[in-house]
Structure 1
């Protein structure tokens, strides 16, 4: 596809900037279009390389362009920015996308299928409900603290204390305040109920998916982590190696090397899939905590136990998260099931 035109689209809600760059790098077209006009225009174009930033709406437009016979390359916005010259305008952004699509070191994003995007959306809505619950409980805790009423940490204590506080007529809470807390408590209860329903539905979805069931056999990987792994990995064709997958998720150390000297630092906290990495690490941390108090049963646990003694629990947890990611990629790529090697009796 290096000899075809590049159609670069600066995505938006209603008005899109479209740029055409020829194989020799000449800009022949750079105009704004409405959503409806862009769809009609794409149908009439000859087979091209359609490039766009991987932002809101990118999956929809990428799938549409693919269905029309075009090749598609979604590019992360951070990789497009260095190619923009002049002021930030839609026209300059579209040109930058076109130029970035020809760069040799660009790492494009993956286009999700409709099913994968639906699963991802359900997971995000579940996370939103969980976040709203936490925000609401923190707000109530903070307001009650100003009246000298303390609620200890944990959701369990919060759920137990609020009804007690509302029923206590001697805690000197003003009546308007008491009514407001009661309303927030009712809202929290509804959020909790909706969260449980959505969480149960998501667990059922992952239990029916063959790839998620494979991943859940890994140590420290549950339904939510397996769902996020499936979305990140897809069919595995987007990555060349398991090392690329680990680096993409963010469970590899940062590298600062020069003159043939390789220096590895701590694990980076930017340019990664933070929700997935957090799930992987917390799951691995739970495995490490249990393994401390019992002997190893498998070769993997033997390796992990030795690493805990040598480097500590946190380092061992990140190493296990890294190994789980690589194993998940191998399971997907080779279409095999995970079976840990038991220690000889």
Structure 2
């Protein structure tokens, strides 16, 4: 049997698909691997080129396989898609990845280190908090508008509404509604603190 030189690896949460070829392009292996089988399988192979789509967990697996002596190349999924020749499934995806990784014009994504991924996570977490802040402000405005209470746009308008909620003296707001608004206001305050903390962490990295 010829030695495997190139592998397309379709990664997933639990079941992975392998498509391996030799130097002539002949298919040597097509098989599924459970998550626990992935590293033992590649540990037994001679060093080869492994193509993986740059999706969730790809950088983790890239680092693990590089540590075993393989050359790992990550590719944007949109660049792999044109190489899918039949109905989309794990086996077809692995075959497409295997073909795409051999193309001389293919664009590859550098494997991120844990530190680089941590920085990316920090920015994404902050973005999530910002979206949550916007959603909470919109909810508070919408709920109060149902009782005829509105305020100007911008930060000052929001602070006016939050002050009204904190006072709890507006007879237009029923007790049950006020309890909900207090919960939203508390959540908004927490998210604002989280955004400030994320900003501090970002600044500490520069």
TM-score, structure 1 as length reference: 0.56
Tell me the distance in 1 between the aligned counterparts of 2:73 and 2:98. 10
**CA apart distance, 1:165:** 4.1
Q: Gapped runs of 5+ residues in structure 2? A: none
> 2:190 maps to which residue?
190
Indicate the residue corresponding to 1:36 in structure 2: 36
Deviation at 1:168, TM superposition (A): 5.5
* CA deviation after TM superposition for structure 1 residue 157, in Å: 2.7
Distance 1:19 1:53 in 2: 13
Q: 1:4, 1:49 within 8 Å by CA — same for their partners in 2? A: no
> After superposition, what is the alpha-carbon deviation per residue over 1:241-263, rounded to whole angstroms, capped at 9, x for unaligned?
xxxxxxxxxxxxxxxxxxxxxxx
Q: Deviations over 1:114-142 (max 9, x none)?
A: 11111111111121111111111111112
Counterpart-to-counterpart distance in 2, 1:122 and 1:165: 32
How far apart in 1 are the matches of 2:24 and 2:157? 66
User: Which 4+ residue blocks in structure 1 deviate beyond 6 angstroms?
Assistant: none
**Deviation for aligned residue 1:4:** 6.8
Greater displacement, 141-150 / 15-24? 141-150
Q: What's the counterpart of residue 318 of structure 1?
A: none
Question: Per-residue displacement from partner, 1:140-182 (whole Å, max 9, x unpaired)?
Answer: 1122222221132223431332122442634511211111001
Confirm or deny that 1:134 pairs with 2:134: yes
CA distance in 1 between partners of 2:171 and 2:205 (Å): 46
Q: Does 1:74 align with 2:74?
A: yes
| Change over 3 Å in CA distance of 1:156–1:45 after alignment to 2 | farther
Q: 1:12-38 CA deviation, whole Å, 9 max, x = no partner? A: 011111110222222111111011111
Q: 2:99 matched to 1:103?
A: no
- Superposed displacement of residue 10, structure 1: 0.3
In the alignment, the residues of structure 2 paired with residue 151 and residue 27 of structure 1 have an alpha-carbon distance, to the nearest angstrom, of 67
- 8 Å Cα contact 1:9/1:18 also seen in 2: yes
**Aligned-pair Cα RMSD in Å:** 1.7
Contact 1:53 1:77 in 2 (8 A): yes
> Whole-Å Cα distance in 2 between the matches of residues 156 and 204 of structure 1?
30
Contact 1:9–1:97, Cα closer than 8 Å, also in 2: yes
Aligned length in residues? 204
Once the two structures are superposed, the pairs formed by residues 24-173 of structure 1 within 5 Å of their partners are 24-167=24-167, 169-173=169-173
What does 1:270-281 correspond to in 2, within 5 Å?
none
Q: Which residue pairs with 1:178 in the alignment? A: 178
Question: 1:164/1:4 Cα in 2 relative to 1: closer, same or farther (>3 Å)?
Answer: same
Q: TM-score, normalised by structure 2?
A: 0.92
State the secondary structure of the residue aligned to 2:74.
strand
Q: Displacement of 1:8 after TM fit?
A: 1.1
